[in-house]
Amino acid sequence: MKKIPHKTNPSTGTRPFVLVKAFTISSLIVMLTATLVIAALNATWVRNILLEKSKEYNRLLVENLNHQIFLRFVAPVVFKHGEIKLREKSQHQLLDAVIKSTIHSFHVEMVNIYGTDNIIGYSFNKSRIGLENAGGVHYEKAMKNETTSKLIQKGSFLELMFWFPKETKIVTFAPLVQEVQLSRAKGSNVIGVIEIVRDVSDDYQQVFKLQGLIVASCATIMAILFLVLRFVVKYGERIIEQRAEERLRLEEKLRQTEHLSAIGEMTAGVSHEIRNPLGIIKSSAQLMKKKMARLDPSSNIPDIIVEESSRLDRIIKDFLDFAKPKIADLRPCAIEEIIEKNLVFLAPQIEEEQVRIIKDFKNNLPEVLADPAMLYQAFLNIFLNSFQAMDETGQITIATRYDQGEILISFTDTGAGVDPEILKKIWTPFFTTKDTGTGLGLGIIKNIIEAHDGRISISNSPSGGTVVEVALPAAD
């Protein structure tokens, strides 16, 4: 018998898909990381632009303040008093009025004015007035007619690490210049330094919210893509697993078919060679029985030969029925009529063994396209198996119903049921638990049902006994 090599490994079919899945998930992770990095860089870029705009805004504000101070304070005071003395209350009040009216509604938190000696002559915080050397390097640059700005941020470690400080302020140092030379003495036109502190926390918080919105949006989109990808991958895995299992089933069925085909060819040849001499042996034994009746009436040897010959003939018939292809002569027929014929034929056995038959036939069942003779044989074997599985005074329930284009016929007996381990091997050819059986009876039934494009299953009933369910396509 030809042996089919087993070349298919279930894992080899899924291996390329696993690589695709790994590559896709890796790409998704890379895309997510790149998106978050780009979002962070974009937010940093926006924050830097905001910083530059804030610095430019402070410069313009300082220039306007310088102009107002010179026009409305420096020039009038110099012309009137000859010199500026901020210690005098009137001058201090005038400067304070000029500054506050100029920066009104500009969210300026602090204004400090340094003299040329690096001493604070004016400040919103009066405790700082008179403070020496408070300007630092930015004061030195402003005295050289250079405007500088710095960013001051305050907050916890995490707030500063994630660029979301609790407070953000822009500090700008700019020279206080005289727009018109008020004295004949030549020299620098820088007469002091202006320091303004403006709180821009709200602007930075808006940037942080924008950054958070961008990151959250990207993360949400990536999460949705990940879930979609995960669903597609799982669905693809299920399809591949189903196809792999189906391929294995088909290969197993092909091997079994070729195995049975070889057995069928061998059985047909052997059976043909055995049946001819078997028939001669049987007929000779019957003739010998007649002669022995006259010579030795007590001898039962001829009976044994006839009986064993008949049993051997039945075994050969089972082999032929199992091995030869089943080609059904399909025609519309009623299932109930075939079952009734079985019951009429089995009536003597039913009466002798006191088996109770319960029929649960649904009305107006469609006909089936079937070969009545083949179905009669299949149902007859099912009945005989049920009889053998039960003690006397048992019960067989026959139920029929229609469901989604199929006629379902169930045979439920009240026997002891089938052991689960035996149930796993019940369709294996030549497997039997009987001393005299060939193990081909159920195989013959299955071949007949499958020749009608039907299905057959055997299970244990919850209430005890065995349930044989047959499904056949309806004629309509």
Stretch (H or E) spanning 358: strand 356-361
Q: What is each CA distance from 451 to 276, 325, 349, 456, in whole angstroms? A: 30, 9, 29, 12
How many distinct helices (H) and strands (E) make up the chain?
Answer: 12, 12
Other beta carbons within 10 angstroms of residue 83's beta carbon come to 8
- What are the start-end ranges of the H helices in 135-178? 136-143, 157-161
Token digits for 248? 């294995």
The predicted structure's pLDDT at residue 474:
86
The predicted structure's pLDDT at residue 439:
57
- CB within 8 Å of 364: residues ≥ 6 apart: none
The predicted structure's pLDDT at residue 227:
81
- CB within 8 Å of 155: residues ≥ 6 apart: 164, 165, 166, 167
Q: What is each CA distance from 416 to 7, 349, 386, 406, 428, in whole angstroms? A: 42, 20, 10, 29, 21
Identify the burial level of 443 via C-beta atoms within 10 angstroms of its C-beta, where 0-12 means exposed, 13-18 middle and 19 or more buried: buried
Identify the burial level of 170 via C-beta atoms within 10 angstroms of its C-beta, where 0-12 means exposed, 13-18 middle and 19 or more buried: buried
The predicted structure's pLDDT at residue 162:
58
| Terminal Cα-to-Cα distance of the chain (whole angstroms) | 42
Q: Are 96 and 129 in contact (CB under 8 A)?
A: no
Identify the burial level of 66 via C-beta atoms within 10 angstroms of its C-beta, where 0-12 means exposed, 13-18 middle and 19 or more buried: buried
pTM score above 0.75: no
Q: Are 84 and 109 in contact (CB under 8 A)?
A: no
Token digits for 374? 């083949």
Residue 177 CA to residue 189 CA, distance in Å, equals: 5
Token digits for 177? 């210049």
Token digits for 467? 């349930």
Amino acid at 179: E
Three-class SS of residue 35? helix
The predicted structure's pLDDT at residue 193:
92
Residue 27 CA to residue 151 CA, distance in Å, equals: 39
Q: What is each CA distance from 336 to 124, 379, 449, in whole angstroms? A: 108, 11, 16
Task: Indicate the pairing of strand 395-403 with strand 356-361.
Answer: parallel
Other beta carbons within 10 angstroms of residue 198's beta carbon come to 21
Distance of CA 249 to the CA centre of its chain: 26
Q: Mind listing the pLDDT tens digit of every residue in the chain (476 residues)?
A: 344 444 444 444 555 566 666 777 777 777 777 777 777 777 678 778 878 888 888 888 888 989 888 888 888 888 888 788 888 888 888 988 999 888 887 888 899 999 888 899 899 988 888 888 888 899 999 998 899 988 887 777 666 565 567 778 889 999 998 877 766 556 568 888 999 998 887 777 777 777 777 777 877 887 787 788 778 778 877 888 888 888 888 888 788 777 766 766 776 666 667 767 777 777 777 777 777 767 666 667 777 777 777 777 767 666 666 666 567 778 888 989 999 999 999 888 888 888 888 888 888 888 888 888 888 988 988 888 888 888 767 888 999 988 888 889 999 988 877 877 777 777 666 656 665 555 566 777 888 888 888 888 888 888 788 889 999 988 86
The predicted structure's pLDDT at residue 8:
44
**Domains recognised in the chain with CATH numbers:** 10-199 (3.30.450.20), 327-473 (3.30.565.10)
- What are residue 405's phi and psi, to 5 degrees? 80, 10
